[in-house]
Amino acid sequence: MTEKTLPLANQNELIWRDRKRTKLFALPWTFTVYRLTKDRLLINRGFFTTHEDEVRLYRILDISLKRTLLQKIFGTGSILCHSSDKTMGDFEIINVKKSIEVKNVLSDLIEKERMEKRVSNREFISDGECDDADGDNEL
């Protein structure tokens, strides 16, 4: 009997892969692996028991980069991601090499996915004068 392989939803090509690194000397001696494809970010954690989190890129609302002095010395950084994903919520990609380049690639991929999926942030800007959203003059 031959085994059938299940087709992947989007046989995605891996764009970036790295491990969470230690704070001191930026060594990849942890059991957290980050993988980025064109439409997903996957985070695998654990050694004996593993846990994989996945977030679709179009669900990431905002990203920022944080680099401490020690991270700058060792060429790493942490990327903070704010997402609308129910299980992941806000999360951090901790202590990765070339964090500035990774953040830029991630930002471009997020924007591309949001355009392709026609997803937009609904940002409301208030001038502070009126909190009446429906215009009925009642707060």
- For residues 45 and 31, the answer to whether their CB atoms sit within 8 Å is yes
Nearest Cα to 94, choosing from 52, 33, 40?
Answer: 33
Q: What is the pLDDT of residues 29-87, one digit of tens each?
A: 899 999 999 999 999 999 999 999 999 999 999 999 999 999 999 999 999 999 999 98
Give the span between the Cα atoms of 31 and 19, in whole angstroms: 7
Q: Which helix (H) or strand (E) holds 53?
A: strand 51-56
3-state secondary structure at position 65 = strand
Q: Give the helix/strand (H/E) hosting 70.
A: helix 69-74
Provide the pLDDT for residue 23. Answer: 84
Q: Give me the residues paired with residue 60 across strands.
A: 83
pLDDT, one tens digit per residue, over 73-131 is 999 999 999 999 998 899 999 999 999 999 999 999 999 999 998 887 665 445 555 55
Q: Nearest CA to 18 among 78, 88, 64?
A: 78
Distance CA 60, CA 81 (A): 7
CB-based burial, 23-44: b 16+ in 10 Å, e otherwise: eeebeeeeebbbbbbebbbbbe
